[in-house]
Chain A
């Protein structure tokens, strides 16, 4: 079992729709959960971080964490073509582990 698993996609959504990105992890001792956005040929940039069960909202982005299910998700409301990128889930336990990423395509 991979430590951090993401569906590779691509996930295609129409402009203005909600994009839902999911991530599961294996280390129950994980403390912090991070979402990075990576445009093609660029370095990852942090979008959201979440540490407690529940939802955390920041603008059009909402991170959701369920530690019992070892599941973290990222919702992007009112998706824009500029949101098209690869989204990396990263989980911090005793080390920081990245998932392989989900490709998101927002069609105008």
Chain B
């Protein structure tokens, strides 16, 4: 059982380049999330999805796009990368957001460290 798998682990981009961070989960979770974490800061929600075909913006969606064509996959697209997007990106999943109990918590991927120069 792999849980939540993110690729790549590290990436350096030039300003203006585009890329996609991949996220896949094998737990049949309905909810998936993308967070970014800047040094010394908490996790900020970028986008989330409550199921295939449904996505919504979080706190800091500007400069990003997502899609959810399957239950398993939730890629994050960066268009026209900017230095402000230098961060560590975490993908997470859960069965549902409304009731996070001990058996229903966020499962995080290992993270993707992105540097934009």
Interface residues of A (CB under 8 A from B): 4, 8, 32, 34, 41-46, 49, 51, 88, 92, 95-101
Between A32, A43, A95, the greatest number of chain B beta carbons within 10 A of the residue's beta carbon is seen for A43
Q: A34-B100, A46-B105, A92-B97 are in contact. Are A98 and B110 (CB under 8 A)?
A: no
Q: A49-B102, A92-B97, A96-B45 are in contact. Are A43 and B108 (CB under 8 A)?
A: yes
Q: A8-B40, A100-B41 are in contact. Are A43 and B100 (CB under 8 A)?
A: no
Q: Which residues from A are CB-within-8-Å of B90?
A: 43-44
Interface residues of B (CB under 8 A from A): 35, 40-45, 58, 90, 97, 99-102, 105-106, 108-111
**Given B42, B99, B105, B110, which contacts A42 in the complex, CB threshold below 8 Å?**
B110
Interchain pairs with CB closer than 8 A, number: 49
On whether the beta carbons of A44 and B108 are closer than 8 Å, the reply is yes
Question: Could you show 6 A-B contacts with beta carbons less than 8 Å apart?
Answer: A34-B100, A43-B110, A49-B101, A51-B101, A88-B42, A99-B42
On whether the beta carbons of A96 and B42 are closer than 8 Å, the reply is no
Task: State in angstroms the CA–CA spacing of A4 and B109 once bound together.
Answer: 23
On whether the beta carbons of A98 and B100 are closer than 8 Å, the reply is no
On whether the beta carbons of A43 and B111 are closer than 8 Å, the reply is yes
Task: State in angstroms the CA–CA spacing of A10 and B108 once bound together.
Answer: 24
Shortest distance between the CB of A86 and any CB in chain B (Å): 9
